[in-house]
Chains A and B, each alone.
Chain A
Amino acid sequence: QVQLQESGPGLVKPSQTLSLTCTVSGGSISSGDYYWSWIRQPPGKGLEWIGYIYYSGSTYYNPSLKSRVTISVDTSKNQFSLKLSSVTAADTAVYYCARVSHWITMTSWGQGTLVTVSS
């Protein structure tokens, strides 16, 4: 049973870069069967797809966030990461990592981590 766990700072200052890591256990990121995704949810609001990465490093991003997002993978650590630059209060959200098959089937999710953007 694959498990995902997000980690990173819970508080980020405006204009800085948000950085999160997702550690995968119980399965290999390099298996090639899945994409690995970041999704976020502002408090009291709906889900928003941020992007995903394949173990080879191929990435696809939400067009509305593309200019600020970088997703990377470290197969040696079985981790993938998110960087979101120039953050504002609108980026305050619970950030989830997920395992994805067939482009949009998010079969496993992390528990989520709240990131607050505030000075």
Chain B
Amino acid sequence: QSALTQPASVSGSPGQSITISCTGTSSDVGSYNLVSWYQQHPGKAPKLMIYEGSKRPSGVSNRFSGSKSGNTASLTISGLQAEDEADYYCCSYAGSSTPHVVFGGGTKLTVL
């Protein structure tokens, strides 16, 4: 299966908002409300930020929000802070005949 498509990089200034897109197909993102987003700082394990498209785990700032339209999911970070600088990955369920999982290629967020 093909990876989900994310922009390689995005940037923003402190306090601004940015959105990272994650484009899939009607076989994955478009068919299920099962998209999650992960933040990864250098040398660290990924951290769950958004699940089931728009839900935030306990402890994750409400500056992070998720949405979906058609085959594209999006992660929005408002009020950018320096510590938000990291790589972000989307992930979708791609069921078809047997359950499996597909990740996006990742987006490097730079806080200017």
Residues of A within 8 A of B (CB): 37, 46-49, 52, 60-64, 96, 102-107, 109-112
The residue in chain B whose Cβ has the minimal distance to the Cβ of A101 is B51
What is the interface size of chain B, counting residues whose CB is below 8 A from a CB of the partner?
27
Q: Does B91 belong to the interface (CB within 8 Å)?
A: yes
Contact A46 B99 (CB under 8 A): no
Of the residues A103, A106, A111, contact of B48 by C-beta under 8 Å: A106
Contact A103 B45 (CB under 8 A): no
Q: How far is the CB of A47 from chain B (nearest CB, A)?
A: 5
Q: Quick one: given A47-B89, A104-B92, A105-B52, are A110 and B45 in contact (CB under 8 Å)? A: yes
Contact B45 A46 (CB under 8 A): no
Q: Mark B65-85, 1 if CB is under 8 A from A, else 0.
A: 000000000000000000000
Q: Quick one: given A102-B52, A105-B52, are A63 and B103 in contact (CB under 8 Å)? A: no
Q: How far is the CB of A52 from chain B (nearest CB, A)?
A: 8
Q: Does B18 belong to the interface (CB within 8 Å)?
A: no
Of the residues B101, B104, B106, contact of A104 by C-beta under 8 Å: B101
Q: Quick one: given A48-B103, A63-B1, are A105 and B48 in contact (CB under 8 Å)? A: yes
Contact B101 A49 (CB under 8 A): yes
Contact B48 A107 (CB under 8 A): yes
